[in-house]
Every structure is written in C-alpha cells, then in structure tokens.
Amino acid sequence: MAAKPEPFTLAVPEAAIEDLRERLARTRLPDQVPIPPGGDPWAYGTPTAYLGELLRHWREGFDWRAQEALLNAFPQYKVPLHGIDLHYLHVPGKGPDPMPLLLMHGWPGSVFEFIDIIPRLTDPAAFGGDPADAFTVIAPSLPGYGLSFAPGQKRFAIADIADCLAALMTEVLGYRRFAAQGGDFGAFTASCLGATHAETLIGIHINLLAMRRDLGLLRDDDPAERRYREALDLWLKEETGYQWIQGTRPQTLAAALTDSPAGLAAWIAEKFHAWTDNDGRIESAVPRDRMLADIALYWFTGCIGASFWPYYARLHGPWPIPDGKTVDVPTGYAQFPREILHPPRSFAARTYTDIRRWTEMEKGGHFAAMEQPEALAAEVQAFFRPLREG
C-alpha cells in the first residue's frame, strides 16, 4: 500500500531567523584580490564588495516571511518514500484535462525557482492562454534538497532520485503516465526517467542536455561539434572547480557552508552571476529577494552537504543514463543563450533519439524558470500540445 501524503506548511521558527541575523552581523569578510584596471571583479569568485552588500540586505532588508508565504500559497505535502520524507508541491490545473507535469529543479536551485512559472502552467487562461494547455504541476524538492532533507538521511544519486520521483508519480499519486520538465539536475533526472522509466513518460522537456563531457566522443569532421569541443574544453578548465570539490570532498565543504551564511551566500551567488543572462548584475536577471529565498532555504534546512551528493555519485559511479541506453521518449529542448553549454543537435541526437522540438530561446540562462517564466511556460505548452492528442 502506498504511503499517505500529509499536508505541509513551511514555517521556519523565529529563533532560526534571529540566529541567522546574528550570524550575519558577525560576518568576517575576506580582503579583495586586487583587480587590474578594466578587470572583471567576478573573475576570482564573488567580490567582497558585492557580498557585503548582499549580506547587509539579507540581514536588514530581506523578508523571509514574505517569501515563505509565496511558497505556502501552493498546496504542499510530505510523504514517506524511499527512506525519506519527500516534500512536493501539487498544484491542480485549471482546464478541461490537465496533464500531470513533474517539474524539477537542480543545484543550487529549489522549489522557489517555480513561484512564477507554476501559475502559468496550471492556469494558462489567466495569462491569456488556452485552458486546454493546462498542467497539474507536481514540483518536488529533490531528495536531499531543501524540504526533502533531514540530517543523517541516506544520499541520492540521480538514478535514485529518478526512481523515487517515478514512485511518487505512479505509486503515491496514481498517475499512469506523466510529463516531465527540468533544468540542471532536474534535466538529468528527466532524462534518466526517459531512459529507465519510459513506459510512464508522455514525454520530457528539458533546458539542459545530459551529455557526457568526454571530448573524445565529438567528431572532428563536424564543424558544430568541433566548436562545441572548444567551448567544452574551456569550460572544463575554468568553470568546474565547484564540481571537483563537491564531487570529491563534499563533507569538508559542507562544514564551512553549513556554519557560515556568508560562505553559503558567496558560493551560491557566484553561480547565479555566472549562469544567468545578466548585464553584469545578478539582479538584472533574477530578483535579489528570490535568489536570497533560495539561499535561505538551503540555510534553514541545512541541506547543502546532501545537495552535493549527485556530484559525488557522478564522479564515483556510473553515468545517470546507463551505458547502452538512450532516451527514446519524445523530447523537447529549449536552449537558452546563457546556459552553461550548448551541445549541437547532432551530438544530442546520439543520446536523445526522438527530439521533436529544439528551440533557441531569445533570452535567459541556467535558471530559466526563474529568469524567463513566461517564455519557458510557452515552450513547455507548445511541446506537449501535440502529445495531448496521443
């Protein structure tokens, strides 16, 4: 018998909020690496001046209760599943036949990414769309992340996350078949579901491709793959330091970031700067308070160490899509201009055998649901529209 979900409301104790403010007040900031004239202050990581400003706002201007209320406006639940208490939003669609959609975040994201996109997906008519495009959205906190974390619980690799969420959709919620969408590890999980739980998938839509980062797999005689090889080579050299420490010594880093809100903010804000489609200021792409809500959820739940585990599992175990397997379910891909990498379609087609929609988006980056909720929602609706007829 499937476990019974229980309604959940997020309510961080006031004492935890006050403790955070006190820790922020005692922050000891590092000195700033000297920046040469015309140099990029972010080239060495989060600049001290920006971090000091962000921390002052977090302590003095940020309203956690307001962000908490935004999340609590959606129906939330917890259910015992695969050895943890899994948290998820379950928002009914408003339309003649809403399609169940598993909506998944990644690292360093959370369900706060979906505040603005969920209403567009569940009630398209409210935004001038067709109610026939409505989805019922199921948006979990990935196992080990945010409200799906408790100290001492087991860790989850991507394949384990996929198995857990497949059980949520089919065994707990009773959906025989469902759609899936995600970015970052949410895209990896959707892809893994497409490879290992294909019978339950209507299709997947992703805004990051789960491609092996093996330069030897790319063809020299294909100009697009050659350009991608060059971009990938540079990215592996300059941008993957966080992956190596999170994937080799996660416990060491977790000690620092679990104890220091300043360190946690610096670690996560740097990714928002590097991966969003901004004009040099994170806030031109993502509202500051929404980014801080995401960071604060990591802080209040103490989940940062567990959130590293998919990196460790990937470096020390098999690739999430098993060797010899391909993703054969209908696939849609939205390529945002400031996404981390842009694999060419020829390379992607060796893993995803049924790509039915490939769209180059005009604006946006890695946190697409937060940066461009209207554009991403429209893409998801367009991709799944013909699949509703099957």
What are the pLDDT digits (tens) for 260-270?
999 999 999 99
- Largest Cα–Cα distance in the chain? 66
- Tell me: pLDDT of 382 over 70: yes
* pLDDT confidence bin for 200, thresholds 50/70/90: very high
- Tell me: pLDDT of 330 over 80: yes
What are the pLDDT digits (tens) for 89-134?
999 999 999 999 999 999 999 999 999 999 999 999 999 999 999 9
Beta bridge partners of 201: 178
The 3-class secondary structure across 176-226, one letter per residue, is CCEEEEECCHHHHHHHHHHHHCHHHEEEEEECCCCCCCCHHHCCCCCHHHH
The sheet with strand 201-206 has its strands ordered as: 6-7, 76-81, 84-91, 135-140, 99-104, 178-182, 201-206, 331-335, 355-360
- Tell me: pLDDT of 390 over 60: no
Taken in order of first residue, the domains within the chain and their CATH numbers are 6-33+44-389 (3.40.50.1820)
Catalytic site residue from 184, 277, 289, 294: 184
pLDDT for position 223: 85
pLDDT for position 370: 98
pLDDT for position 43: 93
Whether residue 328 lies in the annotated active site: no
pLDDT for position 232: 86
- Tell me: pLDDT of 339 over 70: yes
Whether residue 184 lies in the annotated active site: yes
* 78 phi, psi to nearest 5 deg: -130, 145
Least confident among 127-136, 233-242, 275-284, 293-302: 233-242
- Tell me: pLDDT of 257 over 60: yes
- Tell me: pLDDT of 389 over 80: no
- Tell me: pLDDT of 38 over 60: yes
Nearest to 210 by CA among 195, 228, 191, 224: 191
pLDDT for position 224: 84
How large a percentage of the chain has pLDDT more than 70?
Answer: 98
Catalytic site residue from 77, 145, 228, 311: 311
Does a cis peptide bond (omega within 30 degrees of 0) precede residue 108? yes
Nearest to 56 by CA among 258, 262, 256: 262
pLDDT for position 152: 97
Whether residue 366 lies in the annotated active site: yes
Report how far residue 61's alpha carbon sits from residue 127's, in angstroms, rounded to the nearest whole number: 31
pLDDT for position 215: 61
H helices of the chain, in order, are 14-25, 48-60, 64-72, 117-122, 158-167, 185-196, 223-238, 241-248, 250-259, 261-275, 288-301, 304-307, 309-316, 345-348, 368-371, 373-384
The pair of three-digit structure tokens given for residue 321, joined into one six-digit string: 């899509």
Is the model more confident about 390 or about 10? 10
pLDDT for position 84: 98
Amino acid, res. 312:
Y
Least confident among 141-155, 165-179, 212-226, 267-281: 212-226
pLDDT for position 185: 97
- Tell me: pLDDT of 251 over 90: yes
pLDDT for position 35: 93
Among 98-107, 318-327, 343-352, the range with the most confident prediction by mean pLDDT is 98-107
Radius of gyration of the chain (CA): 20
The answer to whether 315 and 248 are in contact (CB under 8 A) is yes
* 358 phi, psi to nearest 5 deg: -135, 110
What are the pLDDT digits (tens) for 46-87?
999 999 999 999 999 999 999 999 999 999 999 999 999 999
